[in-house]
Structure 1
Amino acid sequence: MSGSIYDNLKQLGGMTTLPDSPEAAELERVANPQPDVSYTVRFTAPEFTSLCPMTGQPDFAHLVIDYVPGAWLVESKSLKLYLGAFRNHGAFHEDCTISIARRLVTFLEPSWLRIGGYWYPRGGIPIDVFWQTGAPPEAVWIPDQGVPPYRGRG
């Protein structure tokens, strides 16, 4: 596919190791092939993990990332590797959730982005973290994230 929007991708189609940290993870993007249409892209990561920065114990979340692309789409394998890099990263739930959203906004410059971080209980209390860049664009279907309030979630 020489001359395609996929030419610059380095991670797709081959063996790639998990990055040592979120900062070391390389996100990749491709040109939006439908830039004249406003539409929503959803990524769901129901097995997201990170570490408590105080105890080193694992934390688990169900992440839902919705965005309305501008000129760019995130390449899904690079996003998977980026999210996987949090597995050995110590940060509070709020920091993980917002850091992911901010990096994607900076990298993709989407028309709109929101993230829902639905964290499993720590100390008996689930912590859910929500953020979005502003009001959603008009005339774009943005479905509910579909994650129930915690009561044996998942």
Structure 2
Amino acid sequence: MTMTDVTGLSQLGSHVEAPQSPETAVLEKVPNGNQGTDYVVRFTAPEFTSLCPMTGQPDFAHIVIDYIPDGFLVESKSLKLFLHSFRNHGAFHEDCSIYIAKRIVDLLAPKWLRIGAYWYPRGGIPIDVFWQTGEAPAGVWLPEQGVATYRGRG
């Protein structure tokens, strides 16, 4: 079994203050000890929060990020701090969702990535945002994201 090389990480195992904005948040990566094997890594953030850029009111989402790594994996504590940095950040749902995905793609250059951002209603209308980098490699098992679209109270 391979051991993940964590040398050079600045946040894992240390007390780190929450970043003030997504732009200043530091996303870190570690080498993929299973490079050459196609597999899916899933991160689920069921309590994602950002702010409406117009009203300053909180917006909530259930975000699912799936990716097939190549040479690197995203370090999970840095991802958690990155996602937390949106709590005081005002942006539209689409902007938050695509920014998250593109920051991870820029960091890792994964073989494939998709994001499903299931936003709770704003003004009575839920806005769900989906994006992926292209077709997933053949033969990889891609589970459903498992988040139902918004149905209200019934």
- The answer for the alignment partner of 1:51 in structure 2 is 51
Superposed CA offset, 1:46-71 (max 9, x none): 00000000000000000000000010
Aligned twin of 1:79: 79
Q: Give the CA RMSD over aligned residues.
A: 1.3
- Counterpart position of 1:124: 124
Gap regions ≥5 residues in structure 2: none
Alignment of structure 1 residues 5-154 onto 2, 5 Å: 5-152=5-152
Give the C-alpha shift of residue 149 in structure 1: 1.4
- Structure 1 unmatched runs, 5+: none
Matched AA of 1:43? F
Deviations 1:5-53 (A, max 9, x none): 1111111112111100000000010000000100000000000000000
Number of aligned pairs?
Answer: 151
Percent of residue pairs identical: 68
Residue 152 of structure 1 deviates from its aligned partner by 4.2
Q: TM-score, normalised by structure 1?
A: 0.95
**Secondary structure at the counterpart of residue 38 of structure 2:** coil
TM-score of the superposition, structure 2-length normalised? 0.95
Distance in 2 (CA, whole Å) between partners of 1:81 and 1:109 is 20
**Aligned partners of 1:42 and 1:65: how far apart in 2?**
6
Question: Contact 2:36–2:70 (CA<8 Å) still a contact in 1?
Answer: no
Deviations 1:68-103 (A, max 9, x none): 001000000000000000000000000000000011
